[in-house]
Amino acid sequence: MARLDGTIPGLYPRFAKGTVFAMRNGLYSLHMHMLDGVKGRDSGVIMLRDGTLIGGGPYFWSIGTYTMGDGTWKGEFTTNQHTPLPDPFARPLSGGQEVTSGFSGTYTDDGAEVFGTSLVGTRSLGFRATLKRLADN
């Protein structure tokens, strides 16, 4: 639920009209958690540059695009697994198949938060991710 000042608890604040932030090109840390009672999470790094995102971690890689404006952004990306999980009893949510995802959220000059949906076969899985800028590129 939004507060009187226009912010939503847990999200980056909305800024006064006329304040302009640009999603800065750079290297970001990424921490993602699945929603709706699905157990799953992932962490890695993501490079944002002029509307293109490329990222990954020890088991998965992603590539996609985004658009931004007025403190909000949205995009889509595709994720693939490059290395099997070390625990033979652990199963990736994707079942080893390519996954497409869409997201939207807010950003400041040093980070972002998004909510999105991943399509795994015929199943839709919600997620929340936070990004923190680590370095310019």
Residue 76 vs residue 20, higher pLDDT: 76
Half-sphere exposure of 39 (CA within 13 A, CB side): 2
Tokens 């697994």: give the residue. Answer: 81
Kindly tell me if the per-residue pLDDT of 98 is higher than 50.
yes
For 101-130, the pLDDT digits (tens) are 999 999 998 899 999 999 988 889 999 999
Q: Residue 70 to residues 7, 18, 36, 38, 113: CA-CA distances in angstroms?
A: 14, 9, 29, 32, 14
Domain ranges of the chain: 26-136
Model pLDDT, residue 6: 45
Q: Tell me: the pLDDT tens digits for 2-60?
A: 444 444 444 444 444 555 567 899 999 999 999 998 888 889 999 999 999 999 999 99
Q: pTM, whole model, 2 decimals? A: 0.80
CATH architecture, range 26-136: Beta Barrel (2.40)
Distance in angstroms (rounded) separating the CA atoms of residues 105 and 52: 16
Residue 12: φ, ψ to 5°: -60, 145
